[in-house]
Amino acid sequence: MKIVDAKVVVCSPGRNFATLKVITDEGAHGLGDATLNGRELAVASYLTDHVIPLLLGRDPSRIEDLWHELHKGAYWRGGPVTMSAIGAVDLALWDLKGKALDTPVHNLLGGAARRGVTVYGHANGTDVDAALDAARGYLDLGYEAVRLQCGVPGLDRTYGVGRGDLYYEPAQEGMPLQETWSTDAYLRMVPELFAAARDQLGWEVRLLHDVHHRLTPIEAARLGKSLEDYGLTWLEDAVPAELQEGFRLVRQHTTTPLAVGEVFNRITDCHTLITEQLIDYIRVTPAHIGGLTPLLRVAHLAELYHVRTGCHGPTDLSPVNLAASAHFGLAVHNFGLQEYMRHTPETDAVFPHAYTFADGMLHPGDAPGLGVDLDEDAAAAHPYRPAYLPVNRKLDGTVHSW
């Protein structure tokens, strides 16, 4: 089998997605997700201008070898653009291998290790009552776990608070929006949210919260301590993790479980976090860590250190990435929990897929490969539209992490 053609399709069925399609001489095709929110065209160019020419004529069954060639062969290793491009190739090759062997990718990864992939939904609202109403909506849909986010009194908008429906989308068309931030107001709000949640929702539901990289280690330690009585499943991205040692300070002070990793793109971004047991869940995701090949390596390292997986699963990655996460989550022993934000009907129409949701779980289905297709005619009806994540500033105007 040989790769005879490949292309990148960029489309915007409600939001932008970049998809790599690799075609073989036997007429099969594999799909990879190349989406990097707000930098879609950079990954598309990396693939079209620099990677696709290298793939033509190559044997797509040699996934491990091609991965290392793309990673080491460029000399310039790592970074979100490079690793998203390599990740798209890797996913397309796993998809092709499954199709060539007429078996779902989870079978190639060791086979099903559980009934399904337990997921959490995003419940949010402008205030505590609205967030808890949204959480009840998820429980009615069968979810066992929900992430709770709510507005911060005194701030116009904050991360994680959408438009009150199932479809949260932080990227906005045009130039980036400016949002504002107050750590003090935020730290007052979160414990009130979770006290009310346990009071009104009870203790059966698993609860999570995403700090979105906005605290320092000592602030995160204080937040973690203040949430201990509410039994969170995890506190996410408590601090930016470029400094992995920063998590030592958080860990020393709180038993609230910690999760991080959605912006990581290499195993070296998390090896200290894992080997020092500074976290409980590693949230790297197939498309951004460089594909299923390195994701498996991270998971196997994590298993030794009692760290479970919790792949990032936002709607700003396509159904191709979600399917890859579902196959991985079904098969890997130390799977923890999967983020699941529902894609819009327009997105689902462009990416018909075999995975299904029922009773709080995703199942990848048993279609060969990843089980996702790309309807190119439907995609062509939704051309790329520039859109960016917001920029965040403290009340005095200083730029802060968004």
Of the candidates 33, 144, 219, 339, which one interacts with ligand EZ4 according to CB under 6 A?
A: 339
- Residue with smaller CB distance to ligand EZ4, 259 or 292: 259
- Other beta carbons within 10 angstroms of residue 169's beta carbon come to 15
Least Å distance, CB 152 to ligand EZ4, is 16
Q: Classify 110 in phi/psi space as left (phi over 0), alpha (psi -120 to 50) or beta.
A: left
Q: Which stretch binds ligand EZ4 (CB under 6 A): 244-252, 310-318, 374-382, 391-399?
A: 310-318
- Residue with smaller CB distance to ligand EZ4, 104 or 170: 170
Strands (E), 174-304: 178-181, 206-210, 234-236, 258-260, 281-282
170 binding ligand EZ4? (CB under 6 A): yes
- Return the axis-axis angle of helices 217-226 and 183-201, rounded to nearest 10°: 20
Instruction: Reply yes or no on whether 384 is catalytic.
Output: no
Which residues pair with residue 253 across a beta bridge?
Answer: none
Q: Which stretch binds ligand EZ4 (CB under 6 A): 2-10, 112-120, 148-156, 312-320?
A: 312-320
CA distance 350 to 373: 8
210 binding ligand EZ4? (CB under 6 A): yes
Q: Which stretch binds ligand EZ4 (CB under 6 A): 13-21, 63-71, 225-233, 311-319?
A: 311-319
Instruction: Reply yes or no on whether 327 is catalytic.
Output: no
Q: Which does 37 bind (CB under 5 to 8 A by kind): ligand EZ4, Co ion, none?
A: ligand EZ4
Least Å distance, CB 359 to ligand EZ4, is 23
Of the candidates 12, 19, 37, 149, which one interacts with ligand EZ4 according to CB under 6 A?
A: 37
Least Å distance, CB 202 to ligand EZ4, is 24
Q: Classify 254 in phi/psi space as left (phi over 0), alpha (psi -120 to 50) or beta.
A: beta
CA distance 35 to 133: 32
Would you say the C-alpha torsion 79, 85, 89, 90 has a positive or negative sign? positive
- Residue with smaller CB distance to ligand EZ4, 217 or 310: 310
Catalytic residue among 122, 212, 213, 312: 212
- Other beta carbons within 10 angstroms of residue 293's beta carbon come to 22
Least Å distance, CB 168 to ligand EZ4, is 7
Binding site for Co ion (CB under 5 A): 210, 262
Q: CB of 318 within 8 A of CB of 351?
A: yes
Least Å distance, CB 116 to Co ion, is 22
- Residue with smaller CB distance to Co ion, 307 or 379: 307
Catalytic residue among 138, 159, 168, 186: 159
Tokens of 361: 């779980």
Q: CB of 220 within 8 A of CB of 239?
A: yes
Of the candidates 316, 319, 337, 354, which one interacts with ligand EZ4 according to CB under 6 A?
A: 316
- Other beta carbons within 10 angstroms of residue 27's beta carbon come to 7
Least Å distance, CB 237 to Co ion, is 5
336 binding ligand EZ4? (CB under 6 A): no
Residues with Cβ within 8 Å of 345's Cβ and at least 6 positions away in sequence, in order, are none
Does residue 86 sit in helix, strand or coil? helix
Strands (E), 15-135: 17-24, 29-33, 117-125
| Residues noted as catalytic | 159, 212
Q: For binding to ligand EZ4 (CB under 6 A), which residues are involved?
A: 37, 170, 210, 212, 262, 312, 314, 316, 339, 389
